[in-house]
Amino acid sequence: GVGRTTLPTRDREASELSAPEKLAAGWKKDVLLVPGAALVILAILLVSLIAQLSFMGAISHTRNQEVLYSQFRESLANATAPTGQVADGALIALGTPVALLEIPAIGVKEVVVEGTTSTQLMSGPGHSRDSVLPGQSGNAVMVGRQAGYGGPFARLGELKVNQKFSVTTGQGVQQYKVSAIRQGDQAPVGNPASRLTLVSAAGTPFVPSKALFVDADLTSPVQATPTQVLSQSSLAKAERAFGGESGAWIAVALWLQVLAIVVIAIVVAAVRWGKVQAWVVGLPLILFVTLSMSEQVTRLLPNVL
């Protein structure tokens, strides 16, 4: 009759579909939505990883150095700065500030922490736990990143023989003079009573080809040297140059599960609400998850990157 409105057959059939049937129809219509979303998220993850190693890592490194400097200055003022592998009957905690390294020739002024895993080297150079502290009798070893997280040892290869620098520890200011720069498997020259070896990577940033070593001999008086508790064989692979933290796989796996849940939620939301609305809500979640996961991924990478 007059005034009666009828829907076209296709629209009427669509309106009569149940919610599950509408969702299934949406899936058929957007069959490429899942792989498309996966590719977008993979790209975001790669960008997050690069950002984490570069400018975001540099910001984190700067912030951590400010905190560590305050902590180390306070420990020096209170005469509580570590002078050996053990303090108060226990090994020095990983991440504890143990020295201040100053190399004017290459613009380095870094607080050095105890430990050399990827996690510790996110904050700055690390002191190898199996070695003596700078100024003591024996070979002290410090490891630092070439490019990532501020790249504190980026210019290490620019040092020249006989250039001088200093390291402040709980035993005072120790003076050093560069004696050799070597790469790869080259053995150190000579056997001085007290030496400091700075270790990083040589080659293209983020894809280094070999290890870089700078040997420096102590020119100030040798300090008292406590008995060593840890030996080189005591160190895990993650604490050696080019070592990665295999334990980070657990955290990466957990974040992958979270990422998978977020992806599924975005795809479902895109079918029900629309693509634009789904990405507006989901993109901040994706960024949070990928940045969090990229930090764990960097722990798997060689510690000197």
pLDDT digits (tens, 9 = 90+) for 98-115: 999 999 999 999 999 999
User: How many other β-carbons are positioned within 10 Å of the β-carbon of residue 161?
Assistant: 12
Element (H, E) at 90: strand 90-91
Average pLDDT score over the chain: 87
Residue with tokens 């080809």: 209
Mean local confidence (pLDDT), 37-60: 83
Question: Does residue 11 carry a pLDDT above 50?
Answer: no
Q: Is the pLDDT of residue 255 over 60?
A: yes
User: 219, 176 in Cβ contact below 8 A?
Assistant: yes
**Residue 126: partners with Cβ closer than 8 Å, 6 or more residues away:** 112, 113, 114, 115, 116, 117, 120, 142, 143, 144
From residue 127, alpha-carbon distances to 38, 132, 199, 228 in Å are: 41, 9, 10, 14
Over residues 77-101, the mean pLDDT reads 93
Mean pLDDT for the stretch of residues 260-284:
83
- The residues with which 109 forms a beta bridge, in sequence order, are 102
- For position 74, what pLDDT does the model report? 97
- Relative to beta strand 126-127, strand 138-143 is antiparallel
Residue of 301, 126, 138, 130 lying closest to 218 (CA atoms): 138
Q: Looking at this protein, which amino acid is placed at residue 73? A: R
**Spatial CA neighbour of 208 closest among 127, 154, 141, 149:** 154
- Can you tell me the distance from the alpha carbon of 139 to that of 92, in angstroms, rounded to the nearest whole number? 18
Comparison of pLDDT for 278 and 138, the residue scoring more: 138
The residue type of 81 is A
Query: CA dist 253 to 44, 75, 118, 119, 215, Å?
Result: 17, 38, 18, 18, 40
Per-residue pLDDT band at 251 (split at 50, 70, 90): very high
Question: At CA 112, angle to CA 107 and CA 114, rounded to 5?
Answer: 160
Q: Using CB atoms within 10 A of its CB, is residue 242 exposed (0-12), middle (13-18) or buried (19+)?
A: middle
Q: What is residue 111's predicted lDDT score, i.e. its pLDDT? A: 98
pLDDT at position 192: 83
Most confident of 211-220, 231-240, 244-253, 296-305: 211-220
Q: What share of the chain is helix, strand, coil (3-state, %, to 5)?
A: 40, 25, 35
How far is it, in rounded angstroms, from Cα 199 to Cα 215? Answer: 9
Least confident of 9-18, 82-91, 161-170, 257-266: 9-18
pLDDT of residue 22: 53
Residues above pLDDT 70, as percent of the chain: 88
Q: Note the pLDDT tens digit of each residue in 234-250.
A: 888 999 999 999 999 99
Question: What is the three-class DSSP state of 112?
Answer: strand
